[in-house]
Structure 1
Amino acid sequence: MPEKTVLVLGGSLAGLQITHRLLKHTLPHEPDLKVILVSRNSHFYWNTASVRAVIPGLIKDEELLQPIEPGLGQYPAGSVEFIVGAATQVDKHAKTVEVETASSGSRTLRYDYLVLATGARAADTSMPWKASGTYEDCVEALHRTAERIGRASHIVVAGAGATGVELAAEIRFEYKDKTVVLLSADEELVGGDSTASALEWELVHLGVEIKKGLRSEGVEELDDGKTQVSLSTGDKIVTDLFLPTMGLVPNTEFLPAEYLDDKKFADVDAEFRVKAAVEDTWALGDVVSKPRPSIPETDAQAAGVAKNIDLALKGQTQVPIKGYPVDVFLCTTGRHRGAGRLGWFRTPSIAVWAIKGRTLGTERTAKTVNGTSL
């Protein structure tokens, strides 16, 4: 039988889960399957814990970043190929992807089935909240940010989504002598989620200064090394350190325009197939952000897309992919507390700590690169 190639673009949580699921569960009954994984980063990055990793001395680099390639060595020779590089163009008619590799220049990769799992990056790529470059870039961003936080006496965190709330709390939890200001563009934290009031109480209790209805509209580095932040009201704040957390930019610049929605995310149907690609291309994770970016949603989507690829290889009908059965939102406020909900049910602070805050999920780093959690 001719070889069937599944090309997976992106080595984050979504891409690695698809790769391991296909090799563990589909390869045994599809021996001619080959999976090619392309990742800009040689290492998998558990970015969920980045808000704590920027507090000096709390989390080691290897708890967040582990090499991808060794985990693929468990599979039969010839069944998987790992390429460090970035996709630059997709030709849906020729069924090829141009990839600029880290070691051998440009390559043209042919696929039978394509999976888009390239994720999204932080609007400010100097921040370590998302993997925006190579392994070395991630490590440098983490260390640089940690060093600057350690030196600063006054810190402004811009953006009161989950990342901004958790970051402000982690800093203030560790450093009671630092002034931490959280800017929220909205009148409520975390976009008005039902946990907003509980999270606000937690932050105020920690001593975080919350300024609502204010948006940062520009920053200027001053001669004395401080940063001047211009606010939407026309006022200005002078701070030792400005940490933006707002904004998520999908990594879709290389895709045909017809693959994208009006916000440049991949546009998918109920089976998570890219609508304009019809039958041979799926997308999942932050590159879709449907219904919203979250680990439980990505886990559910990866299981569903892997199943649909398995069905496609068998010539069977695709099935709609259901998200995580309960809408889960958990937000930590330092190393001992947090607020959250499971659906409409409020989660006690101690439960948020037990589920998320205790480790921020770092135990999943090794399990993800090795596929042992699947």
Structure 2
Amino acid sequence: MNTLRGLSISRRLWLILIVAMAMLLALGLLMLKQIHDDLYEGKAQKTQHVVQAVSGVLSYYHGLETAGSLSREAAQQQALTLISTLRYDHDDYFWINDLRPYMVMHPTNAKLDGKDLSAIKDPDGFAIFNEMASLAKTRGAGMVDYRWPKPGAQEPVQKTSYVQLFEPWGWVIGSGVYIDDMQAEFRAQAWKASWAGLGIALIMAVLVTLIARSIVRPLQEAVQAMANIASGESDLTRSLDTHGRDEVTLLAHHFNAFTAKLRNVISHLQATASALEQSSTEMGSDASDAQQRSQQQALQMDQVATAINEVTYAVQEVAKNAEHAASEMRGAQSQAEQGQQNIDSSLQQIDQLSGTINQAVEVIRTLATQSS
């Protein structure tokens, strides 16, 4: 089975045709052989039947001899005269020879009458009449195949003869049919069978061609469409032909359903991609706004840091002034008033510093709120 998978479907269909034609040829040859054998057997049996029938003539005249109505010579002569005139199938005849073998009567070749036949052989070296005499002695009757010229012709042709011994007179009566007639008939029937076989072969070839096209073409279209899908370059709007009721049509139905689902999936993916693109654009805008706010917050933090530095510097100045004022108070009572003024001035600066610190705290809280 796996070996056949290496062949395309069209080649497998043609392989079926070749095997069928080979089997048809083998069957035709067997039938022709049977026809040949039947024709030969029919010829042989017909010859046997006519020889057996004509042997009744010899029996009739032998009966006259036995009854004393005729002498042996007269009975034999009348039997020979009658048998020499007998014909069947237009040109087929009977002859009589004895067991020596000598020719007693040959209706178409009178030169053989009374002659010794032991030296007569066919072109293949077959001693015809010796074999007939031997067959008649041992078996009483039988078929002999040899080559012999037709009446009026010189070239010998294939012939089969049936010979039968008429024991009271020691005669061997025989008749034969020329096989070339049977061969011609066989060739005619063989030509008829060949033309019939050729017609059947042509019809089968046309049917296989049509069947192969009805299977292979839709399959090739389906394979090409699937290959395009696999390569990512397919037109998903393409549909296969679904006219039919076979398995290929069922495959086309499934393919069309598959491409329809793919189109739906791709449409859904396109919609999702558009939504994602819109969301990305909005996220980019939000990121830009957040960046601007971050920059503003950084600027405000810088301002806070500057203010804190100024407060620190002012605190240091206040501390220096307070230390100086305390020194002055311990140094001289006279400068108490002046110290009191300095202290008042310091307290005013401290109040201003406290207000500045409160502003800084408010700015930090505002920044913290905005950051949240």
Q: TM-score, normalised by structure 2?
A: 0.18
Task: Name which structure has the greater RCO, CA cutoff 8 Å, separation 6+.
Answer: 1
When Rg is computed on C-alpha atoms for both structures, the one with the higher figure is 2
Q: TM-score, normalised by structure 1?
A: 0.18
Higher helix proportion (structure 1 or 2): 2
Higher strand proportion (structure 1 or 2): 1
